[in-house]
Chain A
Amino acid sequence: AQRVTQPEKLLSVFKGAPVELKCNYSYSGSPELFWYVQYSRQRLQLLLRHISRESIKGFTADLNKGETSFHLKKPFAQEEDSAMYYCALLNTGGFKTIFGAGTRLFVKA
């Protein structure tokens, strides 16, 4: 079954510290993966997608097919990074995106 697992419900780091939000997936074939973010009182929005290999707001994510992971990383966390982060997988046929349960990131001053 296709599944996205985010093992941490809450991650708390100090400002300036590196941050890594974990995401593991279960999928047969070549996955298309995304990270979405929801800031306080804002709607869910796309942060980045692995296919574009871009860096958004200093965040990057590398697809590791061997470990079936797509962890989100940032070398120096900022207070404005505090938000809810969801990892998502586009399923076979491209009709359905499956979301993980989310990780709340809290960046302390």
Chain B
Amino acid sequence: DAGVTQSPTHLIKTRGQQVTLRCSPKSGHDTVSWYQQALGQGPQFIFQYYEEEERQRGNFPDRFSGHQFPNYSSELNVNALLLGDSALYLCASSLYDRENYGYTFGSGTRLTVV
């Protein structure tokens, strides 16, 4: 089992551009959550997807959007990139109604905005 896979691992973008990050959940998991982790900070919740719908959203602007596909994989899109969007983006998968079992995390995508 490959666990949670994220792509790409690293990305450099210019201010104002748009970016798409991808995540495949652990086999058997149906829920995907996205987190942003700035340097020296803990992961900050962006949103969670289940059954192809956004279930809950953190304090992030509408420039951050997502999608979940029928195979449970997910994408995170960020429009109009700002320098402050530079961070590690983590995808975490879990099983619906078993969130108290905890998350399985991917290795993350390191986004640098220049």
Contact = CB atoms under 8 A, between A and B. Distances in A.
Q: Do A and B come from one complex?
A: yes
Given A44-B90, A93-B56, A95-B48, A32 B100 contact: yes
Task: Say what secondary structure dominates the interface of chain B.
Answer: mixed
A51 B43 CA distance: 22
Interface residues of B, number: 25
Interface residues of A, number: 23
Contacts of B35: 99
B108 interface: yes
A12 to B, nearest CB: 17
Contact of A44 (B40, B58, B100, B105): B105
Contact of A101 (B41, B58, B107): B41
A101 B41 CA distance: 5
B45 A49 contact: no
A34 B104 CA distance: 13
Contacts of A34: 102
A55 interface: no
B99 A97 contact: yes
Interface in B54-78: 55-56, 58
